[in-house]
Amino acid sequence: MNVVIVGRGRVGRGLASALQGTEHPSVLIPGHAFDADAVTKADVIVLAVPDAAIATCAEHIAAVGNRDASILHCAGARGVDELIACRKAGFPVGVMHPLASFSDAPKGPSFEGVAFVIAGDAGAVGSAATIARSIGAVPLTAPIHGPAYHAVASLVANGAAALVNAAVPALEQLGLTRQQSEHALGALLGTVAENVREVGVPRALTGPIMRGDAQTVAAHRAALGESAPLTAQAYEAVVPLILRCATDLGLSSAQAQAIARALE
């Protein structure tokens, strides 16, 4: 299966890198300089372009592409209707959204175990599932793409990164370097992710709030308030969410109130 990836941004580069060495060779082309020759030879065309450019790219493909090729876009916030021009021209179309974090690191993310949320016409869904499995990802067929779904993905991925950004200064104040802090907290997040996969939520929650330890929570707040006000602000902002999770685990009303008082 010959895969053409349109768009050399983070997602396009990450997918192309992952497909290297698989039985599905990929060609990475820029979205701003449309390569009609590459498109006509493709079995699958993956649009990894900005959301606003998807419909325009679809129009170009509809005019020159191989009608047997599956057309996929990677935008979690947009549905399959972005590819209406290709669908009208007879192409099978779909959405393939990797539920992964793509940074600007030279090496793309590992897709092992990553959910690829896919939807669309049967042929396109089949192509997306084949791509996902070839790089170790898990295809999840569900027509849920749109703003609400994408907001959830953004909340988890961006929220985790933002919390680490708020926490790093506190570790630097304690004597770690920024790099040491980032590596340590990144590994910590990895264990949280593993717990979420293995036991789910709320059972993945750990720590003093889950145990109802108001004294330790008060000590946390005092220590951070003195040395790292940004970290203290982040801590206080997420406590209500942690309390709700802990309550679902069985934290009593009295324990929850004691923790809330510790932050007053």
Digit-coded pLDDT (tens) for 8-62: 999 999 999 999 989 997 899 988 777 888 888 899 999 999 999 999 999 999 9
pLDDT of residue 108: 79
Which CATH architecture best describes the domain 3-145? 3-Layer(aba) Sandwich (3.40)
Assess whether pLDDT exceeds 80 at residue 106: no
- CATH number among 3.40.50, 2.30.30, 1.10.3470, 1.10.1040, domain 148-262: 1.10.1040
Q: Report residue 130's pLDDT band, with 50, 70 and 90 as the boundaries.
A: very high
The helix-helix angle for 178-199 and 147-173 (nearest 10°) equals: 140
Residues 104 and 119: their CA atoms lie apart, in Å, by 27
Digit-coded pLDDT (tens) for 72-103: 999 999 999 999 999 999 999 999 999 999 98
Digit-coded pLDDT (tens) for 210-231: 999 999 999 999 999 989 999 9
Q: How many residues does the chain have?
A: 264
Tell me which residue has tokens 């876009």: 73
- Do residues 176 and 209 touch, judged by C-beta distance below 8 A? no
Structure tokens at 234: 């982040």
Assess whether pLDDT exceeds 80 at residue 140: yes
pLDDT of residue 104: 83
Residues 82 and 54: their CA atoms lie apart, in Å, by 6
Tell me which residue has tokens 């450019």: 53
pLDDT of residue 258: 96
pLDDT of residue 192: 98
CATH 1.10.1040 domain position(s) in the chain: 148-262
Assess whether pLDDT exceeds 90 at residue 128: yes
Digit-coded pLDDT (tens) for 155-182: 999 999 999 999 999 999 999 999 999 9
10 Å CB burial of residue 127 (0-12, 13-18, 19+) is: buried
pLDDT of residue 114: 97
Whether the full predicted model's pTM is greater than 0.85, yes or no, is yes
pLDDT of residue 169: 95
The helix-helix angle for 253-262 and 229-248 (nearest 10°) equals: 180
CATH 3.40.50.720 domain position(s) in the chain: 3-145
- Distance, CA of 235 to chain centre: 23
pLDDT of residue 57: 94
Strand intervals (E) in the chain? 3-6, 26-29, 44-47, 70-73, 93-98, 115-120, 138-141
pLDDT of residue 137: 98
- Distance, CA of 204 to chain centre: 19
